[in-house]
Amino acid sequence: MSKKQLYTLEYPVRCSPSILYEFLISPAALQEWFADKVDERDGVYSFSWNGAEEKAVLLEKEQDKFIRFRWSYMSKDEYFEFAIDRSEVTNQTILIIKDFAEKKEIKDQSRLWEYQVKDLFHRLGS
């Protein structure tokens, strides 16, 4: 089995860090752009797409800064993360996504994230 690699994607967003953070942590907001259905209980998020369900544990979070999850099927050292930064030059909010994938799958995974983020931006009016 190939070792998965961490990769990072960055997207400038036209909204405040606090609004973006809510879209990244709230089950109702995640359901608007990330999955068909999202539930959360005791730090475990259930995401459903076309009837298939995946669970992710909320590992760590910091208000308006980042949220880190681990899919139930991932190894202990793998995660996916939404981080929020500000450009010092333009003062623009930046969404940073970190995820793990096998090297040959990074391009496809990145396209999937881009599709999801496009939907997020539509919901944000960005």
CB distance 79 to 69 below 8 Å? yes
Q: How are beta strands 5-13 and 80-86 bridged, if at all?
A: unpaired
Per-residue pLDDT averaged across 23-48, rounded? 96
Q: How many other CB atoms are found less than 10 A from the CB of residue 49? A: 11
Residue 3 has a pLDDT of 84
CB distance 2 to 80 below 8 Å? no
CB distance 126 to 15 below 8 Å? yes
Structural domains of the chain, count:
1
pLDDT confidence tier of residue 20, bands split at 50, 70 and 90? very high
Residue 88 has a pLDDT of 86
- Tell me the residue range of the domain where 64 lies: 5-124
Give the span between the Cα atoms of 15 and 81, in whole angstroms.
Answer: 19
Per-residue pLDDT averaged across 19-40, rounded? 96
CATH code for the domain of 31: 3.30.530.20
pTM of this prediction? Answer: 0.92
Per-residue pLDDT averaged across 59-80, rounded? 95
Torsion over CA: 67, 24, 8, 15 (sign): negative
